[in-house]
Structure 1
Amino acid sequence: MKKIFLPLILLSFFLAPQFVLAQQDSLRAQIVRITSQSKGIVGVSILGLESRDTLNYNGSSRLVMHSVMKFPIAMTVLNLVDKGKYKLDKMMKVGKDDMHPNTYSPLRDKYPNGTEITLGELLSYMVSLSDNNACDFLLKKIGGPEVVQNYLYGLGIKGINIVASEADMAKAWEVQYTNWCKPTEVVRLLDVFYQGKALSKTSNDFLMKIMTDTSTGPKRIKGLLPSDAVVAHKTGTSGTNDEGLTPATNDVGIITLPNGKHLAIAVFVCNSKADEAARELVIAQISKAAWDVYGN
Structure 2
Amino acid sequence: MQMRIVGKALIAAALVMGAPATVNAQATDYAAQFDNTLGTEVRAPRSFEARYETPLAKQIAMLADGSNGRIGVYAIDLSTGQEVGVLEDQFFPMASTSKVAIAAAYLAGVDAGRWSMTSEFRLPRPGGAYLSAQQHLDLMISKSCNACTDALLNAVGGPSAVNKWMRGAGIEDFHLTRDIATLVREDGRIDPATVVDVKDSATPRAMGQLLAGIYQGRWLSAQSRQVLMNAMAETTTGKKRMPAGLPQSASLAHKTGTLSRTASDIGIFHTPDGRAIAAAIYVTGQSSSMASENGNRNLKLEARRQRDSRISSITGALYRGFGGQEQNRRVWTNADVGGE
**Residue of structure 2 in register with 1:234 after alignment:** 255
3-state secondary structure, aligned to 2:244: coil
Which segment drifts farther, 66-75 or 81-90? 81-90
**Residue of structure 2 in register with 1:119 after alignment:** 133
Distance 2:72 2:283 in 1: 7
3-state secondary structure, aligned to 2:113: coil
2:225 matches 1:204 = yes
Residue from 172, 175, 189 that aligns with 1:174: 189
3-state secondary structure, aligned to 1:292: helix
User: Which letter maps to 2:189?
Assistant: E
Distance 1:33 1:44 in 2: 12
The alpha carbon displacement at 1:82 in A equals: 0.6
Residue from 243, 260, 265 that aligns with 1:251: 265
**Residue of structure 1 in register with 2:146 after alignment:** 132
Which segment drifts farther, 24-33 or 48-57? 24-33
TM-score by length of 1: 0.80
* Contact 2:96-2:256 at 8 Å conserved across structures: yes
TM-score by length of 2: 0.70
CA deviation map 1:271-294 (0-9, x unaligned): 442611111111111111111111
User: Which letter maps to 1:279?
Assistant: R
2:302 matches 1:287 = no
Number of positions where the alignment pairs a residue of Structure 1 with one of Structure 2 = 253
Distance 2:250 2:264 in 1: 19
3-state secondary structure, aligned to 1:263: strand
Distance 2:184 2:160 in 1: 19
**Residue of structure 1 in register with 2:68 after alignment:** 39
The alpha carbon displacement at 1:232 in A equals: 1.0
Distance 1:165 1:145 in 2: 7
* Contact 1:193-1:204 at 8 Å conserved across structures: yes
Alignment of 1:1-296 (within 5 A): 25-36=54-65, 39-94=68-123, 96-97=125-126, 113-172=127-186, 173-174=188-189, 177=197, 178-239=199-260, 246=261, 248-273=262-287, 275-296=303-324
What RMSD in Å do the two structures reach over aligned CA positions? 2.0
The alpha carbon displacement at 1:122 in A equals: 0.4
CA deviation map 1:27-77 (0-9, x unaligned): 222222222377211000010001100111110111111001001000000
Structure 1 runs of 4+ aligned residues shifted over 6 Å read none
Greater RCO (CA < 8 Å, at least 6 residues apart): 1
Distance 1:235 1:56 in 2: 19
User: Which letter maps to 2:253?
Assistant: A
Question: Could you tell me the percent identity over the aligned residues?
Answer: 29
Distance 2:60 2:124 in 1: 46
3-state secondary structure, aligned to 2:250: coil
Closer, same or farther: CA 200–31 of 1 in aligned 2, 3 Å:
same
Distance 2:177 2:316 in 1: 33
The alpha carbon displacement at 1:170 in A equals: 2.7
**Residue of structure 2 in register with 1:103 after alignment:** none
3-state secondary structure, aligned to 1:31: helix
Distance 1:95 1:69 in 2: 18
Closer, same or farther: CA 115–59 of 1 in aligned 2, 3 Å:
same
Distance 1:93 1:237 in 2: 25
Distance 2:81 2:164 in 1: 27
Which segment drifts farther, 80-89 or 169-178? 169-178
The alpha carbon displacement at 1:270 in A equals: 1.9
* Contact 1:220-1:251 at 8 Å conserved across structures: yes
